[in-house]
Amino acid sequence: MTDKDVIKVPLGPQHPALKEPGNFTLSLRGENVTDMTIRLGYNHRGIEKACEQRSYLNDMYLLERICGICSHSHTTAYVQAVEEIAAIQVPARGLYLRTLVAELERIHSHLLWLGVAGHEIGFDTLLMYSWRDRELVLDLLSMLTGNRVNYGFNTIGGVRKDITEDQRNDILKATDTLEERTKVYAELAGNEVTLSKRLQNVGRLTKADVVRLGVTGPTGRASGIKRDVRKDDPYAIYSELEFDVVTSDHCDVFGRTLVRVGELLQTYKMIRQILKNLPEGPISAKAPRKIPKGQAVSRYEAPRGEDFHFVRGNGTDKPERVKVRAPTMVNMQAVPLMMKDAQLADMPITLAAIDPCFSCTDRMIELHDEGGATSGTYSWAHVRQLGIQHHLKRGIDFANLNKELASWRERIK
């Protein structure tokens, strides 16, 4: 650029507004963004190549780890393609349970997003509330699958765990609470002036640009594009569920918020239908170790947009080729357009509003005494005490910390 008033500011690759590596070079005239280039690939791990060297089942666990949030999305997209190649008929109950976890995952992802969005605009109360509520759904996922993220719930031919009547009731109970809470957020999004003033007209993306760039998921729907793989190219049991595709004509971050909150309400509706109509029977079909020659593409409406998988089998127990496209790949390319002529301070929330993918695998721990005699849940105070003792054994005394800090300050004076 020849204009002397334009300066270039690199944002990232470390932590560009989110805990995910990506590099954005912004050209600024004063506070206004005139141009922007993106450099991605910092998270490239060679998973597609690695898939060719592992068995179909091993690949599922590998693909599950593409993303901590959409882990069930990736495995479902993948197993659907494998099942199509091998002509495996997944039993109805298996498909229902697969869809159940898919929708629970959507709740967990959208509530997470709502918190991040609140945080990016300095509205941390929203972060605290929505992440507290998100614990409910994470507890459900943990109960159903044994893990809060990376559930390992899918398998080729169905799912790995059935649900009990008690679990069914727990899900229904939590769904009621979550719906009540989400209605508060819906009201908040509509009436809270801080939120609407801060988000309206930020990160604008017109309907025409959504079509031109092929933008997918809630980001596209918030610009009035009524497109959802669950409706357009139905998989699992979505053709049997009654739900609306939520759209908005705001074409900005505010619209993206309304769409995600609206989708949560649709998801609760779907979960009730799934549990009401859950058929009896087996949860998986036996899958062969070797998958015949053939290829298939599979699409999946992940919380962030369309996941696209391609799998080619060559008759062995390892795939010939696995190709993955996550929604961020296409949505990220719309960010420069959203930022054009916008203010630098709008960058974090605009980037966050496409809900780019980052890992979240932190989890609380339940400690059990190894001897088994006193096994049970430890109180927070007890865990804290254990921690203090652990450090004491290593010569670190927190009780003396202030004293030691003072003497250290004396020494370096």
Partner 1 sequence: MSNETDSPSVAAAPVLATEQKLQKDLETAFPDLVGKITLQRVRRVWADVPMQSLHAVVTYAKEELGFWMLCTITGTDEGAHLGLMYHLAGDAGIVLTVVIAAPKDGPGPQTLTPLYPQADLYEREVVDLLGVQIQGLPEGNRYPLPDEWPAGQYPLRKDWTREMLEVSKENA
Q: Interaction with partner 1 in 255-274: which residues (CB under 8 A)? A: 273
Range in contact with partner 1 (rule: CB under 8 A) among 98-106, 199-207, 322-330, 342-350: 322-330
Q: At how many degrees (to 10) do helices 92-120 and 253-277 cross?
A: 150
333 touches partner 1 (CB under 8 A): yes
Write the Ramachandran bin of 262: left for phi over 0, alpha for psi from -120 to 50, otherwise beta.
Answer: alpha
State the Cα angle at 271 between 183 and 138, rounded to 5°: 75
Q: Two tokens at 252?
A: 């900005």
Where b means 16+ CB within 10 Å and e means fewer, 179-191 reads bebbeebbebbee
Per CB under 8 A, the segment of 59-67, 307-315, 361-369, 379-387 that binds partner 1 is: 307-315
Smallest gap from Cβ 119 to partner 1, in A, equals 28
* Residue 70 and residue 77 in contact, taking contact as beta carbons nearer than 8 Å: no
Report if residue 352 touches partner 1, rule: CB under 8 A.
no
Q: Which residues, 217 to 246, sit near partner 1 by CB under 8 A?
A: 227, 229, 231-234, 239-240, 242
Task: Based on the shown chain and the rule CB under 8 A, indicate whether residue 306 belongs to the binding site for partner 1.
Answer: yes
Site string for partner 1, 67-86 (x = CB under 8 A): -----------------x--
Instruction: Quote the CA–CA distance of 350 and 337 in Å, as a whole number.
Output: 11
> Shortest Cβ distance from residue 155 to partner 1 (Å)?
22
Proportion of the chain in helix, strand, coil states, percent, rounded to 5: 50, 10, 35
Distance CA 307, CA 74 (A): 7
Nearer to partner 1 (CB atom), residue 158 or residue 327: 327
Site for partner 1 in 181-220 (CB under 8 A): 211-214, 216
Instruction: Say how far apart CA 191 and CA 294 lie, in whole Å.
Output: 53
Q: How many residues line the site for partner 1 (CB under 8 A)?
A: 40
Say whether residue 153 binds partner 1 (CB under 8 A).
no
Nearer to partner 1, 154 or 216 (CB): 216
Residues facing residue 26 across a β-bridge: 9, 36
Stretch that binds partner 1, among 34-42, 64-72, 371-379, 384-392 (CB under 8 A): 34-42
- Identify which of residues 135 and 320 has a Cβ nearer to partner 1 in the complex: 320
Q: Distance between CA 20 and CA 131 in Å, rounded?
A: 19
Q: What distance in Å separates the CA atoms of residue 330 and residue 131, rounded to the nearest whole number?
A: 27
The least distance separating partner 1 from the CB of residue 133, rounded to whole angstroms, comes to 28
Binding residues for partner 1, per CB under 8 A? 37-41, 44, 46, 48-49, 84, 211-214, 216, 227, 229, 231-234, 239-240, 242, 273, 277, 296-297, 299, 306, 308, 310, 312, 320-321, 323, 325, 329-330, 333
